Structure 1
Amino acid sequence: MAKRKDARVTIILECTSCIRNGLKKVSTGISRYITQKNRHNTPNGLELKKFCPYCSKHTIHGEIEK
């Protein structure tokens, strides 16, 4: 059977401020969230404002490549 091309795809959102500023706290890591988007409605990269536990505030999380 052939696979269908679904409109919904799974994406990973990563904190943009952790990448730019580097981590200033003892714990190391980058905040990441997994979500889905509709590729027909949002063909460009998705950016959402989410909470980053490493920055301890709400920051913009952008879509990254898998």
Structure 2
Amino acid sequence: MGKNKGARTTITLECECKYPQDFIKRKNGIFRYSTSKNRRNTPNRLQLNKFCPNCNCHSTFKEIK
């Protein structure tokens, strides 16, 4: 029998980059990463600095609902 994961949950991280009018971006749309976190150790929303292929730079990704 398999065990449950306990306090680990799957979360989605979404890019918060804003596109200025003169900035050239690669693609249209919103880019998202999925990962897991431990609810007991990090009860707050997670923020990570990751690469966004839409704006072609590193930006802050925030946890969404």
Global fold match (TM > 0.5)? yes
Shift of 1:55: 0.8
- After superposition, the CA RMSD in angstroms is 2.1
Identity %: 53
Asked if the contact 2:26/2:56 (under 8 Å) is kept, the reply is: no
Q: Which amino acid aligns with 2:54?
A: Y
TM normalised by structure 1 equals 0.77
Name structure 2 gaps, 5 residues minimum: none
Structure having the higher helix fraction is: 1
Superposed CA offset, 1:36-65 (max 9, x none):
000000000000010000110010000001
Q: How does 1:1-66 map to 2 (within 5 A)?
A: 6-17=6-17, 21-22=18-19, 25=25, 27-65=27-65
Shift of 1:22: 4.2
Task: State the alpha-carbon separation in 1 of the partners of residues 48 and 26 from structure 2.
Answer: 26
